Amino acid sequence: MTTISTLQPLALRDAVIADGFWAPRRETVRAHTIPQQEHQLRTGGQFEALRLAWRPGDPGEPHIFWESDIGKWIEAASYTLATHPDPDLEASVDEAIDLLRGAQQPDGYLNTYFTVVKPGERFTDLRDAHELYCLGHLIEGAVAHFDATGSTSFLDIVRRYADLVVREFGPGGSCEGGYDGHQEIELALVKLSRATGDARYVELAKRMIDARGTQPYYFEAELERRGTPGYFSREFRNREQQAERFREYNQSHLPVREQSEIVGHSVRAMYMLIAMADLAVDTDDPGLLSACERLWESMVGGKMYVTGGLGSDPSIEGFSAPFDLPNYTGYGETCAAIGLVMWAQRMANITRDGRYADVLERALYNGVLAGASSDGVCYFYGNPLASAGDVHRHEWFGVACCPPNLARLLASLQTYAYAQGDDELAVHLYIGGSVTTTAGGGATVDVATALPADGRVALTFRDVQADAAWTLALRVPAWSATTSVRVNGEEIALAEVVRDGYARLTREWAEGDVVELSFDDAPFRVRADPRVAADAGRVALQRGPLVHCLEGVDLDGVPAHSIVLPREAALVVEEGPVAGVHAIAADARRVEPLADGQLYSTEDPRLQPQWIRAIPYFAWANRGQSTMAVWLPER
């Protein structure tokens, strides 16, 4: 008997985004980001490499990550194709799939690097070579392509490869007990299992998750089998210390069910936790869910930036000690925030607890969205919360995980806004548009809102099929200090209907019913726990889900970090310096520089009034390089 149930995301076509905030951004992804990325893949060698024509000594050696770039790009493209037919894009996707088919080996294997650069070495460097990680992204792309188009052209390819992996990593296989150094294959196998109904894939995912961190450590045995001592960095005292760090780095230091502190590479952690949440449901495994909940607490209690960014140690692209959240040197990889959105979605749907969607929203509107420029063609890999003016977005990266990751998330954003069960439709995110649910027999709900610019939301029912009571579960965001709900004009006593952060309205919904929500959209101050040294004595400014920041370009040459915010300063919403988004304005003070050549002073600081207009964090770095600060000293 199943003890763990979950709400389900809606199909791509059953939720429509048609608002003033996300719709234009998603159109930018469709019209600019996806084509720009296709251009990068065609000119960067990724497509070409699949012809397997590279020979030792040739320029343009294939990179171990390249199949993952293609997989994520096909995934993003497929999501847009589901709702926005585009014959040219479809032809490009088909071309990529044909190339992948051509590169597939007779036994199903499909990895350019280990076919032409390191033949004969497949599956011998699981810790670092990202082979199964690449397969995972191909699978995710294939499942998305199948969902969007109904075609199995890509799915058939990845199934043949996945079947090989099932043999090699299953009982008696050459890699029995193995798992990848970069988690991803596990969550992908769950998706493949769900798409095909083939239980072998979910079983393999479970085996890999359960094997992780058990002794003898797979990666160390693998190193011995390779007969090489491997890379050794002098930053470590000895090889054992290095091995320990590597274990934590890829979360193989302990069996996953015994892990209680979130550590290591942030994206690896997120992808692992997504798989653990999925497997908790699909294999009915409360132990995996408990581990997820424990590691969630560890993350949100001390290791998450206010933007939902993850990872404060650039040297491992990952987590450091609790409360160590430096703003200038923080990492906050775009991919990690994306992974967090995906994990939070699973946790929200399983637990029906609003705090997961609160974090989903925080990461989405801040840590994720900052990852791309406003024109959708330049990207941040890391997302610091303060800058001395020395960083900017790039068109592409040697390791280009973030750009297509961002594209696939935004292209499928509608599936994150809602979830449904037999008699429940949950609204996690308020985004103008509509949603067609099967809950309670079926209905369509039109959602009208100008969020995040305005706190009001109206949901109107139409095409209602049922005549029994069912539940509309409306998330009450943590950022809304006061919230009111009216049904057909009648105020609802929130205390009576809110449970775990959702207002649960159960009734026989009828044609034309209107639910009106009013959230508090006034700007407010946020403070960090005093154990976060980097934010001591500082406040961040937030409005709705949007964390704001000061950018030097708006301060007439004054660096953002020389602004202090009086405690009594009122925060007002003002037309901002960035078109289309509001600013939080306030009567702040700038500290005047000392005399030239003087670095320290015993004088009181010289303060001058300075009207500041803090822009949403996601919008920063779109107007040239500039100083930036999220956390402002308070005075």
Nearer to a second copy, 22 or 296 (CB): 296
Backbone angles phi, psi at 437, to 5 degrees: -105, 155
Nearer to a second copy, 188 or 269 (CB): 269
How is residue 440 written in tokens?
């309670």
Which residues sit at the interface with a second copy, rule CB under 8 A?
297, 300-302, 304, 306, 321, 323-324, 326, 328-329, 386, 388, 390, 481, 524-533, 536-538, 540, 559, 561-562, 564, 590-594, 596-605, 629, 633-635
Cβ 313 to a second copy, closest distance in Å? 11
Nearer to a second copy, 461 or 524 (CB): 524
Cβ 534 to a second copy, closest distance in Å? 8
The DSSP 8-state label assigned to residue 367 in this structure reads: I
581: left (phi over 0), alpha (psi -120 to 50) or beta: beta
Cβ 401 to a second copy, closest distance in Å? 17
Nearer to a second copy, 404 or 559 (CB): 559
Cβ 406 to a second copy, closest distance in Å? 24
Closest residue by Cα to residue 324 from 263, 392, 269, 244 = 263
Distance CA 148, CA 125 (A): 34
Nearer to a second copy, 378 or 528 (CB): 528
- The contacts of residue 256 (CB under 8 Å, 6+ apart) are 209, 210, 212, 213, 272, 276, 288, 291
Closest residue by Cα to residue 487 from 505, 475, 463, 465 = 505
Strand order of the β-sheet with 470-475 is 8-9, 418-421, 424-427, 470-475, 502-507, 498-499
CB 343 within 8 A of CB 274: yes
Nearer to a second copy, 4 or 388 (CB): 388
Cβ 567 to a second copy, closest distance in Å? 9
Cα dihedral: 243, 247, 253, 256 (round 10): -170
Nearer to a second copy, 2 or 598 (CB): 598
**Helix (H, G, I), strand (E, B), or coil: what is residue 489?**
coil
Closest residue by Cα to residue 275 from 174, 352, 192 = 192
Cβ 589 to a second copy, closest distance in Å? 10
- The contacts of residue 615 (CB under 8 Å, 6+ apart) are 548, 549, 550, 551, 554, 576, 577, 578, 581, 583
Nearer to a second copy, 286 or 530 (CB): 530
**Helix (H, G, I), strand (E, B), or coil: what is residue 420?**
strand
Active site residue 121: no
CA angle 565, 305, 322 (to 5 degrees): 115
Distance CA 76, CA 398 (A): 20
Nearer to a second copy, 115 or 259 (CB): 259
Cβ 474 to a second copy, closest distance in Å? 21
**Helix (H, G, I), strand (E, B), or coil: what is residue 437?**
strand
Cβ 558 to a second copy, closest distance in Å? 9
Cβ 479 to a second copy, closest distance in Å? 8
458 class by beta-carbon count within 10 Å (0-12 exposed, 13-18 middle, 19+ buried):
middle
How is residue 591 written in tokens?
């500290």
Q: Which residues pair with residue 473 across a beta bridge?
A: 426, 504
H helical segments located in 12-63: 22-28, 34-43, 46-49
Nearer to a second copy, 175 or 549 (CB): 549
123: left (phi over 0), alpha (psi -120 to 50) or beta: left
- The contacts of residue 427 (CB under 8 Å, 6+ apart) are 417, 418, 435, 447, 459, 472, 473, 474, 475
Catalytic residue among 184, 186, 317, 516: 317
The DSSP 8-state label assigned to residue 316 in this structure reads: G
Backbone angles phi, psi at 429, to 5 degrees: -125, 140
Nearer to a second copy, 108 or 633 (CB): 633
How is residue 213 written in tokens?
């961190």
Cβ 633 to a second copy, closest distance in Å? 3
Cβ 559 to a second copy, closest distance in Å? 6
Amino acid type, 504: R
Cβ atoms within 10 Å, residue 166: 18
Catalytic residue among 401, 402, 424, 551: 401
Active site residue 401: yes
- Kindly list the catalytic residues: 317, 401
